[in-house]
């Protein structure tokens, strides 16, 4: 029987989430609007589609400036949410919905009033990617997202856990970047969009604990039951519990093992220390992971 959903809001956690959302959204919006958009190119993903929608609708009698980019992001996200809602889970959806609204507001109401870069497009792609990547990393660290391709990837991962998420992301971004070249009528626009997308992908990886797509969290704790329940409920990751004994003290404690993605590791670490501030935690990189929720043993 499925447990009823309980949405408990901790004021301190909500405040930190909002702070990360605001700072992350400002950095992300600055990269997209103040560097890419004003330089006549767009990154991949739903944000790129939103920029293209704005470009294509410019000059309409009722929308002389085109559909605002932030509003376009919300419009594009609606059918994606309807398609992916079951796979997302209510908690992740609510977190992301909050972030989508904040980032859309910042894109439309804050970014246009900030300094606009009007220099070399290549520099705009690089530094715009750095800003956008840093912003997205901050958002991911609080178990949220700006929707779009993130939702699609999660939905696909639920149905086909062995499928390479990197390939899925590359396909989605690639299609949008090709459209960028078509809409702007130049190969350079597509290449700048590709450069920005690659740059922010690298920055996200660097900020969220390196380049590996998998992490192993090992925790020695006396509160394994509460920690395990929270990880399985909030992160939806399995946990292995083993019995351990300190060689020096002789004290018996539980040892928790949890394989997760680089984005999830921040949430798991937070849960552990919120529950047991005296826990001993190790985070290591996993080169290959096989089993339920990851690759099948037949894949190489």
Asked whether residue 1 is domain-assigned, the answer is: no
Residue 270 · residue 140 · CB < 8 Å = no
Question: 32-75, pLDDT tens digit by residue?
Answer: 999 999 999 999 889 999 999 999 999 888 888 899 999 999 99
The pLDDT > 90 percentage for the chain reads 54
> What's the order of all strands across the beta sheet hosting 214-221?
240-245, 252-261, 214-221, 280-285
Distance of alpha carbon 174 from alpha carbon 168, whole angstroms = 10
Give this prediction's pTM. 0.72
Asked whether residue 40 is domain-assigned, the answer is: yes
Q: Go through 205-219 and write b for each residue having 16 or more CB atoms within 10 A of its CB, e for each that does not.
A: bebbbeebbbbbbeb
Asked whether residue 299 is domain-assigned, the answer is: no
Other residues' Cβ atoms within 10 Å of the Cβ of residue 76: 18
Whether pLDDT at 84 is above 70: yes
| Containing structural domain, residue 196 | 11-207
Q: Go through 154-186 and write b for each residue having 16 or more CB atoms within 10 A of its CB, e for each that does not.
A: bbebeeeeeeeeeebbeebbeebbebbbebbee
Question: 250-298, pLDDT tens digit by residue?
Answer: 888 999 999 887 778 888 999 999 999 999 999 987 766 666 666 555 5
Residue 221 · residue 276 · CB < 8 Å = yes
- Here the tokens at position 65 are 């400036």
Whether pLDDT at 5 is above 60: no
Residue 188 · residue 177 · CB < 8 Å = no
Give pLDDT, residue 202. 85
Asked whether residue 290 is domain-assigned, the answer is: no
Domains contained in the chain, number:
2
């Amino acid at each position: 029987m499925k447990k009823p959903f309980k949405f408990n809001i901790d004021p301190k956690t909500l405040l930190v989430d909002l702070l990360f959302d605001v700072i992350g959204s400002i950095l992300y919006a600055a990269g997209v609007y103040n560097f890419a958009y004003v330089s006549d190119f767009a990154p991949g993903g739903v944000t790129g589609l939103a920029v293209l929608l704005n470009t294509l609708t410019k000059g309409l009698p009722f929308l002389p400036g085109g559909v605002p980019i932030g509003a376009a992001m919300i419009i594009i996200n609606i059918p994606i949410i309807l398609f992916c809602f079951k796979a997302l889970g209510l908690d992740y959806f609510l977190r992301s919905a909050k972030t989508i609204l904040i980032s859309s507001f910042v894109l439309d109401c804050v970014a246009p009033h900030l300094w606009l870069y009007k220099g070399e497009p290549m520099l705009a792609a690089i530094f715009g990617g750095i800003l956008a990547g840093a912003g997205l990393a901050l958002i991911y660290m609080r178990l949220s997202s700006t929707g779009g391709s993130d939702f699609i990837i999660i939905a696909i991962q639920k149905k086909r856990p062995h499928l390479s998420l990197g390939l899925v992301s590359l396909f989605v971004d690639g299609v949008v970047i090709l459209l960028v070249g078509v809409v702007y009528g130049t190969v350079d626009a597509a290449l700048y969009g590709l450069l920005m997308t690659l740059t922010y992908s690298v920055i996200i990886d660097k900020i969220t604990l390196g380049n590996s797509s998998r992490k192993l969290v090992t925790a020695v704790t006396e509160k394994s039951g509460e920690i395990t329940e929270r990880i399985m409920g909030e992160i939806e990751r399995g946990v292995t519990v083993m019995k351990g004994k300190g060689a020096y003290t002789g004290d018996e404690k539980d040892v928790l093992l949890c394989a997760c993605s680089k984005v999830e590791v921040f949430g798991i670490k937070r849960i552990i220390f919120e529950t047991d501030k005296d826990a001993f935690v190790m985070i290591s990189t996993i080169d290959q992971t096989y089993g339920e929720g990851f690759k099948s043993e037949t894949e190489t």
